[in-house]
């Protein structure tokens, strides 16, 4: 298996040099061929998926839902690729340009990263989404999915390969590692000569396993333990509306709120209203002592609740004495993803936006806005909770690096 | 030791939250105090350094030179800090700003990374340089130097701490890990909760050791195996001048050329002239068969020579049949640092700048220009040979990350 993974790496690296030189038109043709081929292979993909679902006897309901490829999911895989065709090509764009004191011209130019390794779980549609984003940004990609989606992933990969073959496009632009050997992940994550970055997408244990073994740089797309802090200067009806939106509009996504932190001065008025609202929406509330003193119907929270990503209609609730305590709590227990303050006091707003150490910080707005398309970055490969290279939504630009190009006329350093 | 390192990490993380909020004036005051204190502790630093030099019985001459703190080196440590005072503060700068379709204001703002771990060898002046760069960019720093410079590093650290103490500045902004336990490096590199990035500065074995054990993201400052490719369209006198500058002007630095790659059409005229020039400058030439057929005085190269960073007056020389072969050779054997083409043919220039996968690519100019100050980035913490986050010279801006700040008026996602 080590030899197989190394060979995939060598092929991908060679392919990446070709991909880096392609015009936007050539890349868009390949994307079109991929989309058409998915449509053509719809039945094969669906029957492979049916097999995976049949074999998945021990998966929980949410995991089964993620594994399931309905016609609607396949439609959105196809339309997703067509949307990426419309996005601006990030490659070869000039970032900065200057003439140095010695007269030499120096440009900073955006270029593809090279070879991207994606390790993911459950959702087979990731294969198509990621392949399209990497191809458009001029990168070769090596994918490694979970065993539970083995046949679905392979069927989608076969469809993409068939599409690329039809227009004689470099077949090694997109490759899938077979799942039979768990060590394949380790080999891939240590392939420093051929793989430039690993992006793990999945649960905590997957991310930890990848981080532990990787020598290739990793950009983590970690959990979203997002907070809404309700300051004592908050507009209560605004706070209720935002808490409802952040918790209830789509609880299964990483930018949904998992914890509400409330200033003690506003808690007596705010919390009973929040309890009523959340109760009406079927949200289970796990609260600290102070919150329960005001709303005895709330359940008692365990310490672990305050750093848990529920991805469900559950929320933790904490009362704090002041904004400093709120900031400290969020920086310690959050996942540095997205956090919001509801406040009219400008000093509170400023303290929060400056001191919260997260990818996205909101004032009087829902955490649900953290999204590549909404931020104007186009489709996203995910939301980075790391601080290096890309923070927050990671789109086509963030799938690139840069190089410095200096043009002289015999310039030497004196 | 693990507990000690963890505690340093916790202190650094807490300090980083304070540093992130400081004004440029406050940071510059601290830098001034550090510079003044180095001047005041000059004698203590010199006697600590004398002790290290006395104990260093088994160090090679170049390593002894790096270890030695002359008055001139101490002067430049001090003036280096004063230069950093003059640089623009990178923190809180607006990178982009837009109004989203829903009317929400979204800003992308530059912020410090947080806690930076620096693992370095030999040169004790790194302590002062790195402390100043990290402080100016609002980061806390934890330094770990080599055993050979133990007393010098400690004396410089004590001087910096004394300076900071005098103005009651957060003492944990700059910390040094004692050298007695080698495991300290491993503990530091796995302190994901408190350390945001590790930057190793040193030889190949140090970088490999760090990369192997780290779970914290690493930005590698690796070796510079820099090439000059002389195309068949090159101006020969320009090629000679640039080869001389890149190899001989300062052979001990990472942007010096280590290998000359020559197109076979120009080799018969160019190589004898190059041999004469390099011979006159005391450069040892290690060449492949084709080059030696033209210049028998050159030594025979071993395969390893073509990926060796000599940092000395030695150079490897290779003849290629065409530019494609040159590009392939450089991408395979180089270190993705800095490479140059000497060519008048614009197609050759373009092929080289587009296809060479290095941080800096030059046309008709010396590789020696890869430098933060020359590129206009200010003082540099080093030159990244990685592709993520920072590529090439890494200055104050590259010691920062960004956060997204959204301001709404009750905005929810519909």
Q: Can you spell out the DSSP letters for A168-182?
A: T--GGGEEE--SS-T
What are the start-end ranges of the E strands in A247-324? Answer: 257-263, 284-287, 299-300, 314-320
Whether the predicted pLDDT of A359 surpasses 80: yes
pLDDT digits (tens, 9 = 90+) for B168-185: 999 999 999 988 788 999
Dihedral of the CA atoms A349, A354, A355, A359 (nearest 10)?
100
Say whether B391 and A413 touch across the interface (CB within 8 A): no
Q: Which of B15, B362, B394, B404 to mutate to test the interface with A (most CBs of A within 10 A)?
A: B404
Mean pLDDT of chain B, nearest integer: 96
Q: Taking residues B65-75, what's their average pLDDT? A: 94
Q: Which of B350, B315, B371, B344 is nearest to B239 (CA)?
A: B344
Which percentage of chain B shows pLDDT scores above 70? 100
Q: What is the pLDDT of residue B58?
A: 87
Q: What is the pLDDT of residue A60?
A: 84
* B212 chain-A contacts, CB cut-off 8 A: 215
Q: What is the pLDDT of residue B170?
A: 97
Superfamily of domain covering B2-222+386-407: Aldehyde Dehydrogenase; Chain A, domain 1 (3.40.605.10)
* φ and ψ at residue B216, rounded to 5 degrees: -70, 140
Say whether A407 and B365 touch across the interface (CB within 8 A): yes
Q: What is the pLDDT of residue B48?
A: 98
Q: What is the pLDDT of residue B203?
A: 84
Distance from CA of A355 to the nearest CA of B (A): 7
A365 closest CB neighbour out of B192, B389, B408: B408
Say whether A406 and B113 touch across the interface (CB within 8 A): no
Q: Which of A22, A110, A247, A357 to mutate to test the interface with B (most CBs of B within 10 A)?
A: A357
Q: CB burial class (10 A; 0-12, 13-18, 19+) of residue B324?
A: exposed
Q: Which of B338, B367, B344, B363 is nearest to B353 (CA)?
A: B363
Whether the predicted pLDDT of A63 surpasses 90: no
Q: Taking residues A180-195, what's their average pLDDT? A: 93
Q: What is the pLDDT of residue A57?
A: 87
Q: What is the pLDDT of residue A349?
A: 98
A413 closest CB neighbour out of B98, B238, B368: B368
Cβ(A74)–Cβ(A185) below 8 Å: no
Cβ neighbors of B404 (< 8 A, separation 6 or more) are A359, A360, A361, A370, A375, A391, A392, B106, B107, B108, B109
Q: What is the pLDDT of residue A127?
A: 96
Say whether A406 and B211 touch across the interface (CB within 8 A): no
Determine how many CB atoms are found less than 10 A away from the CB of residue B62.
12
Predicted confidence band of residue A122 (pLDDT cuts 50, 70, 90): confident
Compute the distance between CA of residue B113 and CA of residue B110 in angstroms, rounded to an integer: 9
Which percentage of chain A shows pLDDT scores above 70? 100
**Residue in A with minimal Cα distance to B324:** A17
Say whether A17 and B241 touch across the interface (CB within 8 A): no
**Residue in A with minimal Cα distance to B373:** A100
Q: Which of A381, A382, A8 is nearest to A181 (CA)?
A: A8
Distance from CA of A19 to the nearest CA of B (A): 11
Q: What is the pLDDT of residue B349?
A: 98
Cβ neighbors of A377 (< 8 A, separation 6 or more) are A393, A394, A395, A396, A397, A398
Distance from CA of B396 to the nearest CA of A (A): 14
**Assembly ipTM:** 0.95
Cβ(A157)–Cβ(A141) below 8 Å: no
* B197 chain-A contacts, CB cut-off 8 A: 387-388
Predicted confidence band of residue A177 (pLDDT cuts 50, 70, 90): very high
A389 closest CB neighbour out of B21, B359, B389: B389
Work out whether the CA dihedral A274, A280, A286, A291 comes out positive or negative: positive
Which percentage of chain A shows pLDDT scores above 90? 92
Q: What is the pLDDT of residue B62?
A: 77
Q: Kindly list the distances between the CA atom of residue A34 and the CA atoms of A156, A379, B136, in Å, as whole numbers in the listed order.
A: 10, 17, 49
Say whether B404 and A363 touch across the interface (CB within 8 A): no
What CATH code would you report for B226-369? 3.40.309.10
Cβ(B116)–Cβ(B200) below 8 Å: no
Three-point CA angle B23, B28, B31, nearest 5°: 135
Mean pLDDT of chain A, nearest integer: 96
Poorest-pLDDT segment among A218-222, A342-346, B241-245, B398-402: A218-222
Q: Taking residues B18-38, what's their average pLDDT? A: 98
Domain spans of chain A, in order of start: 2-222+386-407, 226-369
Compute the distance between CA of residue A72 and CA of residue B177 in angstroms, rounded to an integer: 56
**Residue in B with minimal Cα distance to A243:** B412
Whether the predicted pLDDT of A62 surpasses 80: no
Q: Taking residues B119-139, what's their average pLDDT? A: 94
Q: Taking residues A186-215, what's their average pLDDT? A: 94
Cβ neighbors of B296 (< 8 A, separation 6 or more) are none
Higher pLDDT, A182 or A135: A135
Predicted confidence band of residue B297 (pLDDT cuts 50, 70, 90): very high
Q: Which of B349, B381, B410 is nearest to B80 (CA)?
A: B381
Whether the predicted pLDDT of B122 surpasses 80: no
pLDDT digits (tens, 9 = 90+) for A86-117: 999 999 999 999 999 999 999 999 999 999 99
Q: What is the pLDDT of residue B96?
A: 96
Q: Taking residues B10-36, what's their average pLDDT? A: 97
Cβ(A220)–Cβ(B388) below 8 Å: no
3-state secondary structure of A285: strand
pLDDT digits (tens, 9 = 90+) for B346-396: 999 999 999 999 999 999 999 999 999 999 998 899 999 999 999 999 999
Determine how many CB atoms are found less than 10 A away from the CB of residue B89.
17
Distance from CA of B296 to the nearest CA of A (A): 28
B362 closest CB neighbour out of A238, A331, A406: A406
Distance from CA of A319 to the nearest CA of B (A): 22
Q: Which of A307, A393, A408 to mutate to test the interface with B (most CBs of B within 10 A)?
A: A408
Q: Which of A187, A188, A254, A175 is nearest to A221 (CA)?
A: A254
3-state secondary structure of A270: helix
Q: What is the pLDDT of residue B202?
A: 84
Say which DSSP state B299 is in.
E
Predicted confidence band of residue B413 (pLDDT cuts 50, 70, 90): very high
**H or E segment and range at residue A127:** helix A126-136
Say whether A360 and B404 touch across the interface (CB within 8 A): yes
Q: Taking residues A245-258, what's their average pLDDT? A: 96
What are the start-end ranges of the E strands in B356-399? Answer: 360-365, 382-384, 392-394
The distance from CA B353 to its chain's CA centroid, rounded to whole angstroms, is 22
Cβ neighbors of A191 (< 8 A, separation 6 or more) are A5, A6, A9, A117, A216
Work out whether the CA dihedral A127, A129, A132, A133 comes out positive or negative: negative
Cβ(B343)–Cβ(B326) below 8 Å: no
Order of strands, sheet of A257-263, starting from the edge strand that comes earlier in the sequence: A299-300, A284-287, A314-320, A257-263, A226-230, A338-342, A360-365, B400-411, B105-112, B94-99
């Amino acid at each position: 298996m080590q030899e197989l993974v190394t060979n995939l790496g060598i092929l991908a690296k060679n392919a990446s040099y070709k991909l880096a030189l392609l015009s936007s038109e050539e890349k868009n043709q390949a994307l079109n061929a991929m989309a058409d081929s998915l449509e053509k292979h719809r039945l094969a993909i669906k029957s492979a998926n049916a097999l995976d679902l049949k074999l998945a006897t021990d998966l929980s309901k949410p995991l089964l839902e993620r594994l399931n490829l309905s016609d609607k999911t396949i439609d959105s895989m196809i339309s997703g690729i067509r949307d990426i065709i419309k996005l601006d090509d990030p490659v070869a764009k000039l970032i900065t340009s200057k003439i140095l004191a010695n007269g030499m011209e120096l440009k900073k130019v955006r270029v593809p990263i090279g070879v991207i390794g994606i390790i993911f779980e459950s959702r087979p549609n990731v294969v198509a989404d990621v392949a399209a984003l990497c191809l458009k940004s001029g990168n070769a990609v090596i994918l490694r999915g979970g065993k539970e989606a083995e046949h679905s992933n392979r069927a989608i990969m076969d469809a993409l390969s068939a599409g690329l073959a039809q227009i004689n496009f470099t077949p090694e632009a997109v490759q899938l590692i077979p799942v039979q050997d768990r060590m394949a992940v380790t080999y891939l994550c240590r392939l420093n000569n051929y793989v430039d970055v690993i992006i793990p997408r999945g649960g905590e244990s997957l991310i930890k396993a990848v981080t532990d073994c990787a020598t290739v740089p990793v950009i983590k797309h970690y959990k979203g333990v997002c907070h809404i802090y309700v300051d004592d200067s908050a507009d209560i009806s605004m706070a209720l509306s935002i808490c409802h939106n952040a918790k209830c509009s789509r609880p299964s996504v990483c930018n949904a709120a998992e914890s509400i932190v409330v200033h003690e001065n506003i808690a007596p008025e705010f919390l009973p209203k929040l309890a009523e609202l959340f109760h009406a929406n079927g949200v289970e509330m796990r609260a600290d002592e102070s919150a329960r003193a005001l709303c005895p119907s709330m359940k008692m929270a365990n310490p672990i609740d305050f750093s848990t990503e529920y991805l469900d209609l559950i929320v933790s609730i904490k009362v704090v004495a002041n904004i400093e305590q709120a900031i400290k709590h969020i920086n310690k227990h959050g996942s540095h993803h997205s956090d919001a303050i509801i406040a009219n006091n400008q000093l509170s707003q400023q303290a929060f936006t400056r001191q919260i150490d997260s990818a996205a910080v909101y004032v009087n707005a829902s955490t649900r806005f953290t999204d590549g398309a909404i931020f104007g970055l186009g489709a996203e490969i995910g939301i980075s909770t790391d601080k290096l290279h890309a923070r927050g939504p990671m789109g086509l630009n963030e799938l690139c690096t840069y190089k410095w190009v200096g043009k002289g006329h015999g310039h030497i350093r004196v």
